[in-house]
Amino acid sequence: MTIAKESVVTMNYTLKNNEGEIIDTSEGREPLVYLHGVGALIQGLENELAGKSAGDKSQIVITPENAYGTRRDDLVRVVSKDGFQGEEELTEGMRVQLDTEHGPAIALVVKIDEAEVTLDLNHLLADMTLHFDVDITAVRAATAEEIAHGHVHGEGGHHH
Ligand code: ZN
């Protein structure tokens, strides 16, 4: 069968940037198993995987617009250091979790001054063109329970 909404897909993948550096890979680990069509993967990748079947190997290139977006200057914010009191000591280059108006977000601590901290809330992979090598090893229909839960059960999936 081919990949469509409510397929359970098993695949090996390697993600590289424009320079060919490996950002993430399933090599040496369990393959990725996901429920297609519910937003488990970035939309650009799911769009390219639709219609493929087990045994297909492909190279997929996704522009930042269809992946994690472009960098936004307004996501670099200067905040008062007071908001971090009582938490672990801040250092430049560390990542902290924040509560924002859109829910929890991870921010990079760019700079620490006397009273202020500069945070960058851009996604780590913002501005990055993603190069995926994918090797689809299995495609099956999701069970009614998996569809109801919105995730895969059994091997490679959730256990509960
Ligand atoms: Zn479940």
Q: Give pLDDT tens digits for 71-130.
A: 999 999 999 988 777 667 889 999 988 887 878 888 999 999 999 999 999 998 999 999
Q: How far is the CA of 23 from the centre of ligand 1 (A)?
A: 29
Q: How far is the CA of 156 from the centre of ligand 1 (A)?
A: 12
Q: Which domains does the chain have, with CATH numbers?
A: 7-68+126-149 (3.10.50.40), 73-120 (2.40.10.330)
Q: What is the mean pLDDT of the chain?
A: 92
Give the pLDDT of residue 91.
92
CA distance 120 to 107: 5
Q: How far is the CA of 122 from the centre of ligand 1 (A)?
A: 31
Q: How far is the CA of 83 from the centre of ligand 1 (A)?
A: 37
Strand partners of residue 61: 131
Q: How far is the CA of 155 from the centre of ligand 1 (A)?
A: 12
pTM for the predicted model, two decimal places: 0.79
